[in-house]
Amino acid sequence: MSSARVVSSSSKNCSSELTSGPASSYLDVNLLYPGLRAISTRPPVFTVESFLSPEECKALIDAAKDHMTPAPVVGPGNGEVSVSRTSSTCYLAREDLPSICTKVCALTGKPVEHLELPQVGRYRTGEFYKPHYDAFDTSTADGRRFAQNGGQRVATVLVYLNDVFQGGSTFFSKLGLRVAPRQGVALVFFPASVDGVLDELYLHAAEPAVDPKWVSQIWIRQRSYNGLASVRISPI
């Protein structure tokens, strides 16, 4: 195992460094959002303590657990299953998650229409997602296709839905940064600049799970995004 920095959500307070220099090309988040901490400044990476309550985390897992399908990898076509990603996922409707989406909008300053459909992901023992980018190179044909619906992904909000004591960390190899999953904590970073340029520093992986791991991810697009939920549920 590499000698990465292992961080918790209380590692570092937000810094004025985040509003100048390279960070100025990233989406502006609400630096006063309760529980927000910077764990990297160049490029910026944040955690948000208690972003979701234990009850919200459990409700998301319960809503999705009977509707999981193999998680696709964005690539040629409309998304395909790949050996680089062995987890399962479920897409939920924004309308069914009003409280959670309101929190994401308050954190990112973007309207709900710019949010992709919230996903719930499950990693069973041994499952992983190899190093990848959340955004796409829009100078390529695949990237231009990807951006047709809502533009580029400019922010990732990844919420850990359960405590994971062994395995399952999120590892940013180019930053030497490893984040261990803790229930309710959100991990926030910026896969592309606000003008849509992929940032290769955010290469990251979901390390193999030892304990079962549940997450919810919401990506923020440049423009309004349309998608089809896997299942409709009573609002959470």
Share the mean pLDDT of the chain. Answer: 89
> Residues 54-80: pLDDT tens digits?
999 999 999 999 999 998 765 543 444
Task: Name 116's Cβ contacts closer than 8 Å, sequence gap at least 6.
Answer: 150, 153, 218, 219, 220, 221, 225, 227
> Residues 11-44: pLDDT tens digits?
444 443 443 334 459 999 999 999 999 999 999 9
pTM over the 0.85 mark: yes
Please tell me the distance from the alpha carbon of residue 54 to that of residue 36, in angstroms, as a whole number.
18
C-beta atoms surrounding 25 within 10 Å: 14
Q: Greater confidence, 18 or 148? A: 148
**Average pLDDT of 139-167?**
97
> Which of 161, 160, 162 lies closest to 170, judged by CA?
160
pLDDT at 86: 76
Superfamily assignment of 5-9+29-36+48-221 in CATH?
q2cbj1_9rhob like domain (2.60.120.620)
Q: In the block, which residue shows the tokens 């998304």?
A: 79
| Partner residues linked to 179 by β-bridges | 7, 170
